Every structure is written in C-alpha cells, then in structure tokens.
Structure 1
Amino acid sequence: MIKYPFLKEEATIGITAPSSGVGSELHGLIKDACNRMNAKGFNVICGETVWTQDKAKSSPAKIRATELNDTMQDDNIHTVIPPWGGELLIEVLEYIDFENIKSKWILGYSDISVLLLATTLKTGIATAHGPNLIDLRGVHSDETTAMWQALLSIKTGESIIQHSSQKYQKEWNHDNFSPCVFHLTEQTYWKVISDSNVMKVRVSGRLLGGCVDVIRHLIGTPFGDVQYFQQHVINNDPILWYLENCELTTVDLRRSLVQMKLAGWFENCSGIMFGRSEANQPVQDYTIRDVYEELSEELQIPIIYDIDCGHVPPQMTFINGAYAEVEVENGKGTVKQYFYP
C-alpha cells in the first residue's frame, strides 16, 4: 500500500543536503530559492549541511544522515527539498532510520533519486522526482517545472494531468540570468519505439525510476528490492519505469540496463520512459536508438524517450508509487497520475 504525503498551504520546508552542499561562492542561489519559497507562503528551515561542500559531499555520511533523520522525524517540517544532487548520497543509506521517518514529501532528482527510490521501496511512502531547490529560485517558473507544487498538493485517491513541455533547454548558461532559470529554446518532441512501429503509444503502471547512473547501485542491496515492493506493496501492479542518463555513454547505459534486467527490475514491466540526455553519445556506431530498440525487443514493451525528465530541463514531477497512464502521439505526451494506495 502506497502512502502519499500532502503539501499543505504555509507548510514548512526543510532544506538538507544528503548528497552535495553548496559552497560559499554560491550561497546566494540558496538564499534566492528560499526567498521564492517564502514568497509562495512556505516557511523554510535550512540545515547546516546545506552551506558546506568538501571532497564531493556536503559533510561526512553520518552527519548527513543524522541531519536527514532529524528532518524526516520532525513533526514541524512537512516537506524535504535538497538544494541539488551530487555524487555520494549512497553513503548515507545505511545510516537512515527508515523505520521511524514520518510521511512527508522528498522532492529532487539526480543523485537525490537514490534516496527517493530507496525510501519508496523500503517504506511504501511516495516520493517526488522533480526539480531541486536551486531550480525553483527564479522569479517565474515555466509551466512544466511549476507543476511540482500541484503534484505535491494532490490528496490520496485524486489524480492530476501533466503535458509535455513546448520547448526544452539545449545547454546550461549560468552567466545569462533568466527570470525562469531555464533558457528554453529547442522544440520538445517525445519519441516512441514499439512492436507495432506506430507513432502513438499508451502505457500504464506504477511509477518507479530516477537517474540510471546512481540508482543502478541499489541492485543487490537491502535498498533495491523491487520484487518485494511489487509483490507486497503494490499488489503485483505492473511497473512503468522512468529513467534518465546523466553521464553514461551508450555502452555504459546498455550495461546498466542489462544489469537491471538480470536483477529482475524489469519483470512485470509495462514500459520504460527515458529522459533527454546530452550523454547519449555513440560508441563505435552503437547509438542510443540501438540501445532503446534492443531493450524494447528483449522485454517486448514500448520505449518512450526524450521525455521531460532529468538533466535537460524542464522536467515533469513523477511520483514514485503513483499509478500513471501515459499517452504519446505526434511528439506530444500526456501523463496522468493517480494517487492510488
């Protein structure tokens, strides 16, 4: 049974850095983001780990875990949003008190998706894969990014629809300030691969996913038991995976997907969605299209790719554990998420 947190008006948002913190030269970004949250009517509490960064992490693993545990167990904090991702969140998993965390939203992506997926698999609490705090510092948000608040404010039993973006950001340009943070210049076009070779696909299932680079390391650990989750938490509903690639070449990605398949992560899987990625570079003429076609043929499921998810913004907010119906036609995508227990 999935438990859905609820983001109420004037909620208190806890900012903690279980992966990377923010160096002193970028503290202004955090202050801007907190001010935007305050302007929306939220209260903000920042932990000490947010303001430090050393040796590819905000602080040692036990310190990060202690602050996260305190934040998750504090009844006065209703939602947790890390500043951004990083590299070494996996170090904190063994120190997290999953048995005593309260039901509250965790929102983020990139390395944070390790925490999101592990939390949902271990506890049945839904988690939100979407923008990090830094992405929300703009005076305005584009329509796709802005949906995070609506998603987190849906009650159990209700549903909500998101539509694919109109345009996406081709490259990061931090020196060119934009009131919307992102510079959306390229036409969005969702693509599909299916056995019928049609340009229209419908697929549904319980959402699970994250950044392939990091969630693959949950395989074989107590934090990545997808089979138990499917059998005992979602009553054998099919899983609809959403995945995004940050830094893997096509062969790296292929190896990771085969490992997921061999570990049983794709058993009773209805489909897989992949986000846009600048990392999808061919190796010896082995292209990303080859990767997707082989996976579709092996699993006999549709593949949807270049969706709004991951490191090429903007991105939708996907709720781990929610039931989703996805439709793609002529490059446009619609995602309807149901907050079913």
Structure 2
Amino acid sequence: MLQAPPYLKPGDKVAITAPASKLEATAVEIAVNILKERWGLQVVVGETIGASYHDFAGSDAQRASELQRFLEDDSVNLILAARGGYGVSKILDSLSFEHFSPKWICGFSDLTALLLHINSLGFQAIHGVMAKTMAFDEPSNESLKNLLFGGKVDYVFTHNSEYFIEGKAEGEAIGGNLCLLANSVGSKSDISFDGKILFLEDISEYLYSIDRMLVQLGRAEKLAKLAGLVVGDFSDCKENDEPFGKNFQEIILEHISKYSYPVAFGFEFGHENRNFAIRMGETLSLDVNKFESKLKSI
C-alpha cells in the first residue's frame, strides 16, 4: 500500500487551484463555505481561479507555478482541484517534486494524470469531487470528507444483472479517467497495474474510442494481471452514424474476457453528480456477487 499523507484535522489548510480549464471565481464559493463552515478548515483560493488564457485557467507557466507553490508549501494539507477539463498533462513534466511536502491531492477527470503521478512517487491521492462539483451532491462531499479525515472505504452497490464477473480480490486502488490512463502509457507517470484494482470512468467518448483506448491498455499489458476491475460512470457515450454494435459494458468485458478477475459495474464514480471518493494507492477488498458489489478498506 502506498504511503498516506497525514489525515486532515480541523484547522488544517486547503489550497484550491485550477491546473486545467478555466472557471468563474464564483464557481468555488459553495465549496469554500463547506470547507470553512462545515469542515472547520482554512481555505486559500489560488489566483488561477477566475483566470483565463484561451480555454485554460491561465497560461501553462501560470498554472504550473501556482501548483508548484502549493506542492512545496508545508502549511498546505490538501490541494483541491477547482475543476478538470484539459490541461494537467501539459504542465506535469514542468513540475518538480524534489521538495514535495506530502499532502492530499484531490480531483477527477483530467486530474487523473496528476493523481497517477503522485502514485508513481509512492503516495496515495484521492479521486473525488472538486471545488466546482461540491455544489452538486452532499453524499459525495461526505465521502471525500470521510477519507480525508482518516475514515474507511465502505461502499455497497448493486449492478445490472447482465454485467458482472463474480469473485473476490484485494489490491491497491488505481485508475480514474480511461482517456488519461491510456494517455499516460509510456510517460514519466506510468506505473504497473499488476495486482491492483483498476477503477475506470469516462464521459462523452465515442464507443469506438473506448474500444481503442482499451486496446491501448491491453497492448501495454495493463489489463492482464489486475486483481479486479471496478467500472464507474461512462456518461454520454456516443455512436458513429454506423452503430458500433456494442455498449460500453460489452466493450469492456470483451477486452478482459480471457482473464479471471472479478469485475463490478455500477459504482457511482465519475462525471455524474454522485461521485464517491477513492484513495488511489490504498489497499481495498472487492467482493462481487450476482446481487451486489462491496468495496472496503482492509
């Protein structure tokens, strides 16, 4: 299991930054209120919040500089991404982790690239709601708070009776957005998936593109030796004019059909309003039967 940064306690400091796409400054107001008034934390809002450079929250240099400052700041206990979009991968290789002060980093979507890089350094990171999306769903917020303050993972969810593979597994959690995971192959952030429980989600992808990205992971030998697979939301999947012929569940099952690990679909994880948190790098147990699936801290 990867090292967990220090868990939060009341009075700790959260830095909100936008390392990818731009957003209005008002979009983080609800999150700031929750973090301060309900969770008892201090909040620092970065200058990238409300900044604009084309579609980004400032230039690559501006976004990297702010993130670098928060990574090295000993007084910051949590870096919370403001939103995803696109842009984290563009700045990753310009960051230095020589003086990284271990702390929690949280986000999803495009932030998968950063979470994976933090995992490659030997630390856990959290796939969960971001400042903008904290306005959407209180149970998702509470799941993040639970994990940040040292609570256990304990999720039970039902699945479509057509799509599952029964079994039990234990392994480190890894994953997030399928597109970013496929794009990380061969990069400095690339790590082994062997013996791990892989989490997948994505949004607005063509079905053939989902198939192509899984081909990439398969060719890179990322799927062969998993301990288990947990599939979250694949929102707004798209068809070509000529139908692809399979839904996303069937595509995924086809790519892992020659392996024998458990597979759970239906975990509320991804781009829908309900987005439960997972500590990537924590060792979890997965138990899949014909009626439900269970994810728990060990």
**After TM superposition, is the score higher than 0.5?**
yes
Q: Contact 1:3 / 1:103 at 8 angstroms: preserved in 2?
A: no
Equivalent residue, structure 2, for 1:185: none
How far apart are the structure 1 equivalents of 2:51 and 2:19? 11
Within the alignment, does 1:250 sit opposite 2:250 as a pair? no
TM-score normalised over the length of structure 2: 0.90
Equivalent residue, structure 2, for 1:222: 188
Within the alignment, does 1:193 sit opposite 2:164 as a pair? yes
Superposed CA offset, 1:131-171 (max 9, x none)? 11122246x812x44111111122xxxx7132246xxxxxx
Q: Which structure 2 residues correspond to residues 318-329 of structure 1 after superposition, within 5 A?
A: 318-329=278-289
Q: Contact 1:98 / 1:119 at 8 angstroms: preserved in 2?
A: no
> Which of 292, 298, 305 is the aligned partner of 2:265?
305
Within the alignment, does 1:125 sit opposite 2:123 as a pair? yes
Within the alignment, does 1:147 sit opposite 2:104 as a pair? no
> Which of 192, 208, 211 is the aligned partner of 2:174?
208
What is the Cα deviation at residue 263 of structure 1?
A: 1.3
How far apart are the structure 2 equivalents of 1:250 and 1:32? 35
Provide the secondary structure at the position in 2 that maps to 1:101: coil
Moved over 6 A (4+): none
What is the Cα deviation at residue 278 of structure 1?
A: 2.4
Identity of aligned residues (%): 21
Within the alignment, does 1:29 sit opposite 2:30 as a pair? no
What is the Cα deviation at residue 256 of structure 1?
A: 0.5
> Which of 228, 231, 239 is the aligned partner of 1:271?
228
Segments of 5+ residues of structure 1 without an aligned counterpart are: 166-187, 195-199, 231-235
How far apart are the structure 2 equivalents of 1:38 and 1:209? 30
How far apart are the structure 2 equivalents of 1:312 and 1:306? 12
Equivalent residue, structure 1, for 2:96: 97
TM-score normalised over the length of structure 1: 0.79
Equivalent residue, structure 1, for 2:256: 296
How far apart are the structure 1 equivalents of 2:107 and 2:167? 28
Q: What code does the residue aligned with 2:13 have?
A: T
How far apart are the structure 2 equivalents of 1:329 and 1:302? 9
Q: What code does the residue aligned with 1:255 have?
A: R
Equivalent residue, structure 2, for 1:171: none
How far apart are the structure 1 equivalents of 2:249 and 2:77? 41
